[in-house]
Amino acid sequence: MFRSLGALVGDLLVVLLFVAVGLVQHGTALTTQNLALVGWHFALGVLLGHLAIRAWRAPFRIWPHGVFVWAITLATAMALRTLFSAGTEVSFVIVTAVVTAVGMLGWRAVALYATRGERRTPAAAPAPVGDSSV
């Protein structure tokens, strides 16, 4: 449960950071209202991605979970930005795709690396009956 929530929060933080940097780079005030106005497309994409791929099953996996959550996030955000005339110039789409891919897949790679010992250590199994080594 907590890992799934952590994955969702991790992805939301990536898109929040992306939006915040974009606002600052374009000289727009970094306010809660501006973050919400610009970022809701991406946040909705993250939520849809997590639901569509059922990311709670393996929240830190890069393939297919991370890749599909990223792709759904990108597609949803760009579709909504187009629908609401918020701008989807080719350069913006490319930068968005690269930065969010690095962020959303990158934190998963770090999480997998950090928890690699947990996955390799088998759970302690009870000793077989008649085993004298115990």
Per residue in 22-48, pLDDT tens? 999 999 999 999 999 999 999 999 999
Residue spans per domain, the chain = 2-116
Confidence of residue 127 (pLDDT cuts 50, 70, 90): low
pLDDT tens figures, 56-93: 888 899 999 999 999 999 999 999 999 998 889 999 99
Q: 65's torsion region: left (phi>0), alpha (psi -120 to 50) or beta?
A: alpha
**H helix or E strand, kind and range, residue 14:** helix 2-25
